């Protein structure tokens, strides 16, 4: 099915039903202003996904509020494993069969993405994402600012360097996913709306998949016409 085709999946709100940093906030934040901070994190995430603020601004603002430890990330991973998108879970065999042709390209963090997607056969070297910076007590102090995926326009830059040939199809819910196609680094952009539909993103898509079954139908029959 995927002969000469590579699939690039976003992670947050695409592979999973949730935004991982929002969930991390619920784990690590406390005190009377917890709800206010959670709402701010969600708002910043949403504006970044719509392209209303730059991704770097969105990431920096969220990391100013968040923190956490290795133990918190382990707890986050356990939660995320229960939050994989329903139709993706139901098609786990597809991922196991085609893992060599699947990459995760995410503005999230490897520390929680790799343990989740490995259950679907996706190897660590097929995961491109940010990484946390840790102190000697294994607490998060920030993120690797040199990583292209922490910067504006990072996804197209990373995709151009992938060791792949043939058709490239991007599947995601955010503006940064669309930017890969916009920059000419992919052939097709599919807006995945099972978990969230962002109209400014969907209206730019070559195809809108309301679930993974829709996507499979498209990849089997539809990409020839795009």
Q: How far apart are CA 57 and CA 201, in angstroms?
A: 19
State pTM to two decimals.
0.92
Per-residue pLDDT of the chain (226 residues; tens, 9 = 90+): 677 899 999 999 999 999 999 999 999 988 889 999 888 888 888 887 777 878 888 888 888 888 899 999 999 999 999 999 999 999 999 999 999 999 999 999 999 999 999 999 999 999 999 999 999 999 999 999 999 999 989 999 999 999 998 999 999 999 999 999 999 999 999 999 999 999 999 999 999 999 999 999 999 886 543 4
**β-pairing, 140-143 with 132-134?**
antiparallel
Question: What sections of 132-185 are H helices per DSSP?
Answer: 154-160, 175-182
Integer Cα distance of 61 and 44 in angstroms: 7
Answer yes or no: are the C-beta atoms of 188 and 181 closer than 8 Å: yes
What tokens appear for 200 in the block? 């400014």
């Amino acid at each position: 099915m995927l002969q000469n085709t590579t699939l690039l999946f976003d992670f947050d709100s695409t592979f999973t039903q949730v935004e991982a940093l929002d969930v991390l906030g619920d784990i690590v934040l406390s005190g009377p202003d917890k709800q206010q901070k959670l709402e701010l994190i969600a708002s910043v995430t949403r504006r970044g996904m719509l392209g209303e603020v730059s991704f770097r601004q969105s990431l920096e603002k969220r990391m100013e509020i968040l923190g956490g430890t290795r133990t918190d990330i382990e707890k986050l991973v356990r939660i995320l494993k229960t939050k994989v998108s329903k139709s993706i879970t139901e098609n786990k065999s597809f991922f196991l069969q085609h893992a060599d042709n699947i990459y995760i390209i995410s503005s999230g963090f490897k520390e929680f993405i790799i343990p989740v997607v490995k259950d679907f056969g996706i190897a660590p070297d097929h995961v491109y994402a940010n990484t946390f910076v840790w102190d000697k007590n294994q607490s998060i102090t920030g993120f690797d600012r040199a990583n292209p995926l922490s910067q504006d326009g990072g996804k197209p830059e990373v995709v151009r360097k992938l060791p792949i040939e043939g058709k490239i199809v991007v599947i995601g819910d955010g503006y940064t996913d669309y930017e890969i196609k916009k920059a000419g680094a992919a052939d097709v952009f599919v807006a995945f709306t099972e978990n969230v539909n962002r109209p400014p993103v969907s209206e730019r898509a070559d195809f809108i998949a309301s679930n993974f079954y829709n996507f499979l139908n498209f990849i089997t029959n539809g990409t020839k016409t795009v």
